[in-house]
C-alpha cells in the first residue's frame, strides 16, 4: 500500500535515523517518508542489500570504524543456512560474499555469534566451503544420485543426521545453481529431483534415523535418538506443510 507514507529507493539516497545520516548504496526497497533527510545529520554509515540468505537482507557499513553489520549472512560458528522459503539464492549468496570482501571491512558483526576481526579469512572460508559442497553435490549426481536424500547422504555422510534437515535447503539451492550454470548431467531431471523433496525426503530421513537408532547397543542412547528423530520429523513435516 503506497499510501502509507513509504518511498521507493534504489540507491544513492540518504535517510536519517535518530539524528544519524545513512547513505543507501543499493536497496530496491521502501522506506518511511519520515526517515528521509530533512535536517543536518552526521554520516553514520552505508546501507545496502545483501541477497543470498534471503532476498531482503540488509547490511550496514559503519563509517568511522569500517565495521560491517551483516545480519545472518555470516554466523559465529559454521556457515549460514540459506532460507529458500524466503528467497534464498545460491548465485546471489556468492555475489554478496564477493561484494563484502571488496568492501574490506575491519570487522564483521553477525546477528548470531561473536564479532569477527578477520573478515576476509571468514568470507574466503565461506566461499571455499560452498564451492566444496557444490563440487561434492555434482559428484554425487554424476555417480547416480537422483533424489534429495541420496545427494545429502553422499555429501553429508560425515555429518550427524540431525543436521541433514537444515542442510536440505542449501542442497536444493546448490542444485538450482548448478542447473543455472548448465553443469548438471543431461540425464539428471531437476523436475524429478524436486518431487523427491518435502515429505519423500523426510520419510526416508526418518527411516534412516530409526535404523541407526536400533543398531545402538546402549538402550538409553537408542531411546533418546529414536525420540529425537520422531520429534524432528514431526516438526519438519509441520514446517513443510506450513511453508
Evaluate if residue 35 carries a pLDDT over 50.
no
More confident residue, 136 or 213: 136
Q: Residue 30: what pLDDT?
A: 39
Place of cell 525420540: 227
Q: What is the pLDDT of residues 168-216, one digit of tens each?
A: 999 999 999 999 999 999 999 999 999 999 888 988 888 887 776 545 4
For the entire predicted model, the pTM comes to: 0.73
Quote the CA–CA distance of 127 and 185 in Å, as a whole number. Answer: 24
Asked which of 16-20, 91-95, 139-143 is least confident by mean pLDDT, the reply is: 16-20
Distances (CA, A) of 145 to 140, 177, 183, 207: 6, 17, 15, 18
Strands 67-71 and 107-110: parallel
Among the listed residues 93, 132, 126, 84, the one whose alpha carbon sits nearest the alpha carbon of residue 108: 126
Evaluate if residue 50 carries a pLDDT over 80.
no
Asked which of 85-94, 184-193, 216-225 is least confident by mean pLDDT, the reply is: 216-225
Report whether 206 contacts 227 (CB < 8 A). Answer: no
| Cα-Cα end-to-end distance for the chain | 24
Q: What angle do CA 181, 75, 52 make, to 5 degrees?
A: 30
Distances (CA, A) of 192 to 9, 64, 147, 148: 40, 52, 8, 10
Amino acid at each position: 500500500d503506497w499510501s502509507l507514507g513509504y518511498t521507493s529507493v534504489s540507491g544513492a539516497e540518504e535517510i536519517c535515523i535518530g539524528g544519524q545520516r545513512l547513505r543507501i548504496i543499493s536497496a530496491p526497497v521502501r522506506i518511511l517518508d519520515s526517515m528521509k533527510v530533512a535536517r543536518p545529520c552526521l554520516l553514520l554509515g552505508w546501507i545496502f542489500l545483501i541477497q543470498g540468505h534471503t532476498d531482503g537482507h540488509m547490511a550496514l557499513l559503519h563509517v568511522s570504524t569500517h565495521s560491517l553489520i551483516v545480519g545472518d549472512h555470516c554466523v559465529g560458528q559454521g556457515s549460514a543456512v540459506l532460507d529458500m522459503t524466503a528467497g534464498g539464492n545460491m548465485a546471489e549468496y556468492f555475489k554478496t560474499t564477493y561484494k563484502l570482501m571488496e568492501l574490506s571491512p575491519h570487522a564483521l558483526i553477525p546477528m548470531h555469534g561473536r564479532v569477527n576481526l578477520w573478515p576476509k579469512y571468514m568470507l574466503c572460508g565461506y566461499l571455499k566451503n560452498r564451492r566444496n559442497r557444490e563440487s561434492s553435490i555434482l559428484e554425487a549426481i554424476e555417480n547416480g544420485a537422483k533424489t534429495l536424500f541420496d545427494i545429502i547422504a553422499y555429501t553429508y555422510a560425515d555429518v550427524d543426521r540431525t543436521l541433514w534437515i537444515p542442510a536440505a535447503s542449501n542442497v536444493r539451492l546448490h542444485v538450482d545453481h548448478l542447473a543455472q550454470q548448465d553443469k548438471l548431467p543431461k540425464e539428471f531431471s531437476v523436475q524429478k529431483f524436486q518431487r523427491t523433496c518435502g515429505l519423500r525426503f523426510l520419510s526416508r530421513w526418518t527411516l534412516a534415523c530409526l535404523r541407526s537408532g536400533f543398531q545402538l547397543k546402549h538402550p538409553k542412547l537408542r531411546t533418546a535418538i529414536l525420540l529425537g528423530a520422531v520429534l524432528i520429523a514431526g516438526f519438519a513435516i509441520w514446517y513443510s506443510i506450513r511453508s
